[in-house]
A and B are shown apart, each in its own frame.
Chain A
Amino acid sequence: MVQERTLPQFHAPAAQIAPEEGLRLYEDMILGRFFEDKCAEMYYRGKMFGFVHLYNGQEAVSSGVIKSLRSDDYVCSTYRDHVHALSAGVPAKNVMAELFGKETGCSKGRGGSMHLFSSEHNMLGGFAFIGEGIPVALGAAFQSRYRRDALGDSNADQVTACFFGDGTSNNGQFFECLNMAALWKLPILFVVENNKWAIGMAHERATSQPEIYKKAAVFGMPGVEVDGMDVMAVREVAQQAVARARAGEGPTLIEALTYRFRGHSLADPDELRSKAEKEAWLARDPIKRFEGYLLEQNLADEGTLKEVRDRIQTRIDDALTFAEESPEPSPDDLYKYIFADE
């Protein structure tokens, strides 16, 4: 097992969160988890194709960050994008339909698992090559600043959250974009989901300085390390970063220490990660942990949590039915969407 980093301590003060807000986060994490479990089932039953990368285990990051945003803020993801899209508000049925390649999918069946988009929800993608989403997110953040400072639109305070993995943080775009974001004080959150592995490459074997958040310092940017299995901790860090960005104080690099519970993709035999490592992280399941917190703090009782789970299960089942019953794109539309005027 690769040497564990000491996790940053965070103790959410009692009742720091309103019960409704707690349930909102819980619901979002459950939605992410149940959705992905359903994907695995459908994939193994031969109903879903291609490369499918699931998010199980990392839910606290998506929920903690994206639920700290406004609906007019932007989210930019990677190829591990289902749950980011869900947190951003893209309806589960449209994400599921996309994975089934249907016309009703959020990318009209043209994108698939690694290319989820929704302009309505400011979901910028879905990027299948590692790191290519980082500059795109930078562009969205630049756009906010441009509207505010070049066009004088004082309402243009939208923030962009840009997600990527530890492996991706070795790619050139990461450094290039941190530089530009700091240089121009762009309203962006760079959120590294450090799940310790890039397919089969252990983070420590690929990275000369494994503490990614420290790389912010050379760009004069705040870098924070956070326990990515604790939604309250992620939320706290994200809220601060969002406030900074909105106030025109520039970008933040957030390194969330997390873990993916499944293989890299559904096609990955997952042979390299040790049983001990997996068990240690499974014991830190962010959903179980947050359930514990909600109960301890009397923010919810078992009954309410079960209600949430049942409601979400129904929503996933409905999404599945919707996806299965939706039409495929028409062959007549093979050339549709290449150019904007078509």
Chain B
Amino acid sequence: MAETLLFNALREAIDEEMGRDDTVFVLGEDVGVYGGSYKVTKDLYNKYGELRVLDTPIAENSFTGMAVGAAMTGLRPIIEGMNMGFLLLAFNQIANNAGMLRYTSGGNYKIPMVIRGPGGVGRQLGAEHSQRLEAYFQAVPGLKIVACSTPYNAKGLLKAAIRDDNPVLFFEHVLLYNLKEELPNHEYVVPLDKAEIVRPGKDVTILTYSRMRHHVTQAVKGLEKKGIDPEVIDLISLKPLDFDTIGASIKKTHRVIIVEECMKTGGIGAEIIASINDRYFDELDAPVVRLSSQDIPTPYNGKLETLTIVQPKQIEAAVENMVALKV
């Protein structure tokens, strides 16, 4: 076991997969010589050469489309979005090609590619660099969407994403890169489509993902002291959602709170609530509550920024409220 920072866990995943499969390559802005803005590809350029760790010009839409063409013809590209927000410029190739092309081609082609990089609300990076794009992409058919949250799952999930024969949008959180954890010495992969039960409990189901998992964990400490026993589920897969795990938990707790960094309107939480109503309405003892970010461009000012995203105290209060409503 070795203590590993999350960004290094990702780096190990890429390194291991490039080592075992020589069709895997990385492309993006500053991934090569510079080693990536968050050092996820540090030194891989020296090890694998400039074609396998390809520094691209700043041309997001085109290098994304290029990865699609490479994937169609047998390579396994990993795109690093220097900041996932920049991939809004690549929306065309992601939606039209990466997502839909297998279908429109009637199964002629598969598109094994990973699009990964930092996203989420950082620390005073201002609105454009603090975006949560997962909801924008959830409506695109044919994409898998995964959000990692710990060094352990980051490594195992990224390896699985690289091996997957479909386009996977892989969200990392800019504030989690320096998270530390002991990782096993042996090789492991983590399935892309399974939610992770972070903490089993019986009183209420808390669904969360990415950085909010850690805010929830903090809130749970307070709740435990008050004798409340929540079940915490890290969704991991935002598309498809793992309703086996979610459903089993609802049948146990009959109460759901969603904690997300996503914007409220048209967010991941909105989709989950609609699906829970479709599937488990009869199991619910209370309406599903969602704690989401404010529907505003992330403000630069630190205090306002904090108010924009859900804080552990709010989570604690919301859970307490819900449990107090016990029938």
Chain A residues in the interface with B (C-beta under 8 A):
74, 76, 105-111, 115, 117-120, 124-129, 132, 134-143, 145-146, 149-151, 172-173, 176-177, 179-180, 183, 336-341
Are A132 and B92 in contact (CB-based, < 8 A)?
yes
A107 and B107 alpha carbons, distance in the complex (Å) = 7
Tell me the minimal C-beta distance from B22 to chain A in angstroms: 6
Q: Is B108 an interface residue (CB 8 A)?
A: yes
Are A143 and B74 in contact (CB-based, < 8 A)?
yes
Q: Decide yes or no: A107 and B108 within 8 Å by CB, A138-B69, A140-B70, A340-B166 being known contacts.
A: yes
Task: Note all chain A residues with C-beta closer than 8 A to B112.
Answer: 340
Are B104 and A146 in contact (CB-based, < 8 A)?
no
Who on chain A is nearest to B89 by CB?
A: A172
Are A115 and B104 in contact (CB-based, < 8 A)?
yes
Could you list some 12 contacts between A and B, CB below 8 A? A125-B104, A126-B105, A132-B93, A135-B66, A136-B93, A143-B73, A146-B75, A173-B61, A180-B57, A338-B103, A339-B166, A340-B111
Interface string of B295-321 (1 = CB under 8 A from A): 000000000000000000000000000
Who on chain B is nearest to A174 by CB?
A: B62
Q: Is B52 an interface residue (CB 8 A)?
A: yes
Interface string of B155-169 (1 = CB under 8 A from A): 000000000111000
Task: Note all chain A residues with C-beta closer than 8 A to B71.
Answer: 139
A124 and B72 alpha carbons, distance in the complex (Å) = 8
A88 and B166 alpha carbons, distance in the complex (Å) = 26
Interface string of B125-136 (1 = CB under 8 A from A): 000000000000
Chain B residues in the interface with A (C-beta under 8 A):
22-23, 25, 49, 51-52, 56-57, 59, 61-75, 77, 92-93, 96-97, 101-112, 141-142, 144, 164-166
Tell me the minimal C-beta distance from A311 to chain B in angstroms: 28
Are B106 and A110 in contact (CB-based, < 8 A)?
yes
Task: Note all chain B residues with C-beta closer than 8 A to A339.
Answer: 102, 142, 144, 165-166
A125 and B101 alpha carbons, distance in the complex (Å) = 9
Task: Note all chain A residues with C-beta closer than 8 A to B92.
Answer: 129, 132
Tell me the minimal C-beta distance from B185 to chain A in angstroms: 29
Q: Decide yes or no: A138 and B65 within 8 Å by CB, A149-B51, A150-B49, A341-B165 being known contacts.
A: yes
Are B106 and A135 in contact (CB-based, < 8 A)?
no
A110 and B100 alpha carbons, distance in the complex (Å) = 11
A299 and B59 alpha carbons, distance in the complex (Å) = 49
A111 and B103 alpha carbons, distance in the complex (Å) = 8
Are B73 and A139 in contact (CB-based, < 8 A)?
yes
Who on chain A is nearest to B112 by CB?
A: A340
Task: Note all chain B residues with C-beta closer than 8 A to A179.
Answer: 57, 59
Q: Decide yes or no: A132 and B96 within 8 Å by CB, A143-B70, A150-B51, A180-B57 being known contacts.
A: yes
Q: Decide yes or no: A336 and B59 within 8 Å by CB, A135-B93, A142-B69, A146-B51 being known contacts.
A: no
Q: Which of A145, A149, A338, A339 has the most CB of B within 10 A?
A: A339
Task: Note all chain B residues with C-beta closer than 8 A to A108.
Answer: 106-107
A177 and B57 alpha carbons, distance in the complex (Å) = 10
Who on chain B is nearest to A339 by CB?
A: B166
A28 and B171 alpha carbons, distance in the complex (Å) = 48
Tell me the minimal C-beta distance from A334 to chain B in angstroms: 10
Given contacts A139-B67, A339-B142, list 16 more A-B pairs with CB under 8 A.
Answer: A76-B69, A107-B106, A117-B104, A118-B108, A129-B96, A132-B65, A134-B62, A135-B68, A143-B74, A146-B70, A149-B51, A180-B66, A337-B105, A339-B102, A340-B111, A340-B166
Task: Note all chain B residues with C-beta closer than 8 A to A126.
Answer: 104-105
Complex partner residue of A139 from B72, B107, B108, CB under 8 angstroms: B72
Who on chain B is nearest to A329 by CB?
A: B106
Who on chain B is nearest to A186 by CB?
A: B66
Task: Note all chain A residues with C-beta closer than 8 A to B141.
Answer: 338
Are B103 and A140 in contact (CB-based, < 8 A)?
no
Task: Note all chain B residues with C-beta closer than 8 A to A111.
Answer: 104-106
Task: Note all chain A residues with C-beta closer than 8 A to B63.
Answer: 135, 176, 180
Q: Decide yes or no: A172 and B62 within 8 Å by CB, A105-B106, A151-B22 being known contacts.
A: yes
Are A180 and B56 in contact (CB-based, < 8 A)?
yes
A137 and B93 alpha carbons, distance in the complex (Å) = 12
Are A183 and B57 in contact (CB-based, < 8 A)?
yes
A52 and B165 alpha carbons, distance in the complex (Å) = 32
Tell me the minimal C-beta distance from B115 to chain A in angstroms: 14
A115 and B103 alpha carbons, distance in the complex (Å) = 10
Task: Note all chain B residues with C-beta closer than 8 A to A74.
Answer: 73
Task: Note all chain B residues with C-beta closer than 8 A to A109.
Answer: 106
Complex partner residue of A338 from B52, B67, B68, B142, CB under 8 angstroms: B142
Tell me the minimal C-beta distance from B244 to chain A in angstroms: 17
A105 and B107 alpha carbons, distance in the complex (Å) = 12
Task: Note all chain A residues with C-beta closer than 8 A to B165.
Answer: 339-341
A180 and B93 alpha carbons, distance in the complex (Å) = 17
Who on chain B is nearest to A103 by CB?
A: B106
Are B61 and A135 in contact (CB-based, < 8 A)?
yes
Q: Decide yes or no: A336 and B107 within 8 Å by CB, A135-B93, A146-B25, A176-B61 being known contacts.
A: yes
A76 and B72 alpha carbons, distance in the complex (Å) = 12
Q: Which of A145, A177, A180, A340 has the most CB of B within 10 A?
A: A340
A145 and B75 alpha carbons, distance in the complex (Å) = 11
Who on chain A is nearest to B67 by CB?
A: A139
Who on chain B is nearest to A146 by CB?
A: B51
Tell me the minimal C-beta distance from B303 to chain A in angstroms: 39
Are B73 and A140 in contact (CB-based, < 8 A)?
yes
Are B105 and A107 in contact (CB-based, < 8 A)?
yes
Tell me the minimal C-beta distance from A171 to chain B in angstroms: 10
Are B61 and A150 in contact (CB-based, < 8 A)?
no
Task: Note all chain A residues with C-beta closer than 8 A to B64.
Answer: 135
Tell me the minimal C-beta distance from B324 to chain A in angstroms: 43
Q: Decide yes or no: A176 and B57 within 8 Å by CB, A135-B62, A338-B103, A340-B110 being known contacts.
A: yes
Top 10 nearest A-B pairs (CB, nearest first) are: A139-B69, A135-B65, A108-B106, A340-B165, A117-B105, A176-B62, A136-B69, A176-B59, A107-B106, A139-B70
A177 and B22 alpha carbons, distance in the complex (Å) = 25
Complex partner residue of A337 from B66, B67, B74, B103, CB under 8 angstroms: B103
